[in-house]
Amino acid sequence: MTVAVYPGSFDPVTYGHLDIVERASRVFDRLIVAVLINRSKTPLFTVEERVALLKEATKHLANVEVDSFTGLLVEYMRRRGARAIVKGLRAVTDFEYEMQMALINKNLDPSIETFFMMTSKEYSFLSSSIVKEVARYGGRVDDLVPPCVVEALRRRFADPGGPIEFC
């Protein structure tokens, strides 16, 4: 069984992320969408909130699991029995950074392979940062993120310190 990991911050998950998740879930036997816990960043949503939003958005995919991790990706992959990393690419600038990461991961564990997937053209402009910026100023993001994320963004910006109740 081929287990792959799709790592990221997913703050929040977008339709671009889900495009990669759905396509990768058709390629690999099992796909773990892994939320990276990065202590140096201040995300809009907590790790628990991001995991919950991803679980809601991927519940229709039987071979997709959502998890979180901290530390080195290759160590997490060893613990989970995964041998493949899935990375979504939007532009050439994404490739430059992701190629460096793929090479360092290969150096740390030669048995791990990285698979790059180009995002579908309708999502090539989309990023979590853009979604947060549009939502922060009351713009419509319904066509950029799943309904549960639209609601979570609305609630977060209405009450920045308040809890997010999920769909």
Distance CA 31, CA 2 (A): 9
3-state class (DSSP) for residue 118:
strand
pLDDT of res. 41: 79
CATH number where 109 lies:
3.40.50.620
Residue 26 lies in a domain: yes
Question: Is residue 98 marked as binding?
Answer: yes
Residue 63 lies in a domain: yes
Residue 69 confidence class, pLDDT cut points 50, 70, 90: very high
Catalytic residue among 30, 78, 83, 90: 90
Catalytic residue among 26, 39, 40, 41: 41
Q: What pTM value is reported for the model?
A: 0.93
pLDDT of res. 40: 78
Residue 166 confidence class, pLDDT cut points 50, 70, 90: low
Average pLDDT over residues 15-34: 98
Per the structure, the complete domain to which residue 78 belongs is given by 3-158
Residue 50 lies in a domain: yes
Q: Which residues contact 142 (CB under 8 A, 6 or more apart)?
A: 150
Average pLDDT over residues 118-127: 93
Q: Which residues contact 137 (CB under 8 A, 6 or more apart)?
A: none
